[in-house]
Chains A and B, each alone.
Chain A
Amino acid sequence: MIVGRLRKEKEKGLYQSIINKGVLIATKRDGKKVVYKEITTPEEIVKVGRRGDDSPAKFVFPQTSTLFKFKLEKGGFKIIPEDKVFPERVIFGVAPCDAQAISILDKVFLEGDFIDQGYKRLRESITIVGIVCNSPLPYCFCTSVGLSPFDQQGMDISTVETDDFIYFKGITDKGIGFLETHSEIIEEVDQNQFEEVYRDVSHSLEMPKVRFDLGKGVEACDRRFQSRVWEKVARICISCGICVYMCPTCQCFDIQDESKGFEGRRFRVWDSCQFPSYTLEASGENPRGQRAKRVRNRVLHKFNYMVKTLGQVGCVGCGRCEEFCPESISIENIIENLIEEVSANE
């Protein structure tokens, strides 16, 4: 089954069935925020029709994860591999920006010369069920980075809702497998029906305003390594890690060993290029000792370095960095200012 639909009255039945078979992750209320969390009863789910306040990427690339454990025994260290078996997990309600972000993480960790085995094992246990984003937030700018509220990139299953039904389309083998597992609840329909509904819904969407021309933005980033813009932002930035830790595509990490007695573990934990200690070298030298250089690194990593290494912009326009920045520093404004600077110098 590639395409199916579900009557909305039966929605909770589907969630319950997922919970019975493994783990369901979806948006739920936590204090004042709507965040992605493990769901224990279908009633907890709060559907918002947009991205959650935090990103589901944290389930694909957790903030702290153990790589292996070690133990000192007679004759030396013994390495105990971390081979925890992850239960099948389904993340429901992933917005197009976050799905795209996860596909970027996949490129970073699963493509190229080195495949991250820990990431791979975790990633394989996860099925991503995406949505069409019908209520973008005022901070959203996905349309400025070449995406749209109805993109399907990075999703295993794409869904779209009408008044009475939820339509499902399996995109990857994993997604199709999911639909087949739940074929008792989800009835199969003709693929054209899905496409028709999808087209109608997409056309009626409110699109976030395009803030800048992406081509010009990427070009400006390539040309403005030296720019007054960085200095200006650095004057009000406080070098906290909010923009990085709220970002669904930031993927830098630090590796630490910790031991107690004769046992210990090696783990990895998110790191932030905004912290001065990020590039601090053993000699005491810090190539990014100044804040302006750190601010620049985050922007150029997404709008220049990733363009060169992955062939795509590393920003998905979710707007969380600006939304949660204590000083309201906006990445779109930075790109706009760089573009202005380039055109003023010509």
Chain B
Amino acid sequence: MVNIKRELLVESLKEVLKRGDIRGILSYKGWEPLWIMSEEELTQVDVTPMSELNLVSIFMNQEKPRLKRGESPDKRKVALTLKGCDSKSLIQLMAENMVERDSLFIIGIGCEGVVSRKKLKEKFGKRELKVERYDDRNYRVVIEGDVEIVPKDEIMNDKCRVCRYPDALIYDLFLGEKRGEQKKEDKFDDVREIESMSLEERREFWQKEFERCIRCYACRNACPLCYCEDCILERLNPTWISRAVESRENLFYHFTRAYHLAGRCVDCGECERVCPMDIPIRLLNRKLIKEVKERYRFEAGLDPKASPLLATYKIEDSEDFIL
């Protein structure tokens, strides 16, 4: 993430805590999410290029405690430190009426691309390391006291390569430097590569990937936009998707998950980040993002007032794919 001075971050968050209407701040401690309820917890905060995860998914995964008789719900706000991509998922949730803007205090954070924990693990195989900004093109990796300068291209999360909105799109407070909308266009090279395969090759490709799936449902749970209280996966009567972990059922699971995100996915990359089996889940979502963009010129997560794509009809919508 961008070169926010830690002192500035801590001071700003301290002010946020003092506002009095804040239940807690959800921020980062390296790779980990960190809830800050007190000034003591604030000392652990560390927003760095390691802040890869999307805090909106932790926010959405919060449990709502059952209220005792006569107890009123805690209406205080939750403060979130958000990158551009994370803010898009929040905007999409607002468009779907799942989150109220007033329940949040958003601390926007300028971002220059986050590090992929998987890539870093593969490269260094270490647990105790720190990644800091070095300059525009490099990260500074500190491993057990040794410093190494690593080019961004080597360890940056793939989603950052095609990122157009590095700054949080909505915020109450902005920390760090804004970079503005990036002019680069997402050419969907990864999706095109799969599209260029024959039907048979594509089937083989996905079958091989889904064979590894252990159905831990981390991709579903980590997705900020998977919020159904009654999920098709938990249904046993009728059983839409068998509990049996076999490649046919896995395929059905992943396709169902992806389709449910059509016109909604903002490409925050959480699904792929969490997958313990390295299944390229983002690729499936991106195929849908590409289709939605080409057919309806729509991009999810940009306008909190936008009507959900699949719930609207426009006379000029393309119909050529309907049989």
Contacts and interface: CB of A to CB of B under 8 A. Distances in A.
Interface of A: 30-33, 63-64, 137-139, 234-242, 244-246, 254, 256, 258, 267, 269-270, 272, 275, 277, 290-291, 324, 326-328
Interface in B124-166: 125-128
A31 B216 CA distance: 19
B222 A240 contact: yes
Interface stretch (B53-61, B303-311, B313-321): B53-61
B32 A328 contact: yes
A331 B55 CA distance: 22
Interface stretch (B169-177, B236-244, B254-262): B236-244
A215 B179 CA distance: 53
Given A238-B57, A258-B239, 11 more contacts: A30-B212, A64-B244, A64-B246, A240-B222, A241-B214, A241-B215, A241-B217, A245-B215, A291-B63, A324-B276, A328-B32
Given A64-B245, A240-B221, A256-B243, A32 B278 contact: yes
Contacts of A33: 277-278
Nearest to B121: A323
A31 B53 CA distance: 23
Interface string B21-49: 00000000011111100000000000000
A256 B234 CA distance: 13
B214 A63 contact: yes
Given A241-B216, A326-B273, A32 B244 contact: no
Nearest to B276: A324
Interface string B61-83: 11100000000000000000000
Interface in B249-278: 270, 273-274, 276-278
B218 interface: yes
Nearest to B209: A31
Contacts of A244: 216
A254 B127 CA distance: 34
Contacts of A246: 214, 276
B100 interface: no
Interface string B206-243: 00000010111110111000000000001010010011
B261 to A, nearest CB: 17
B193 interface: no
Contacts of B62: 235
B128 A138 contact: yes
A237 B32 CA distance: 11
28 contacts: A33-B278, A63-B245, A64-B244, A138-B125, A138-B127, A236-B32, A236-B35, A238-B58, A240-B216, A241-B216, A242-B274, A244-B216, A245-B276, A246-B214, A254-B243, A256-B243, A256-B244, A258-B244, A267-B244, A270-B245, A272-B216, A290-B63, A324-B276, A326-B218, A326-B270, A326-B274, A328-B30, A328-B32
B189 interface: no
Ranked 3 nearest A-B pairs via Cβ? A138-B127, A240-B218, A241-B216
B102 interface: no
Nearest to B32: A328
A245 B216 contact: yes
A237 B274 CA distance: 12
A239 B221 contact: yes
Contacts of A324: 276
B200 interface: no
Contacts of B277: 33
Contacts of A137: 125
B244 A326 contact: no
Contacts of B126: 138
Nearest to B122: A32
Nearest to A63: B245
A244 B246 CA distance: 18
A16 to B, nearest CB: 26
Q: Which of A31, A234, A235, A324 has the most CB of B within 10 A?
A: A235
A302 to B, nearest CB: 18
Contacts of A275: 217
A244 to B, nearest CB: 8
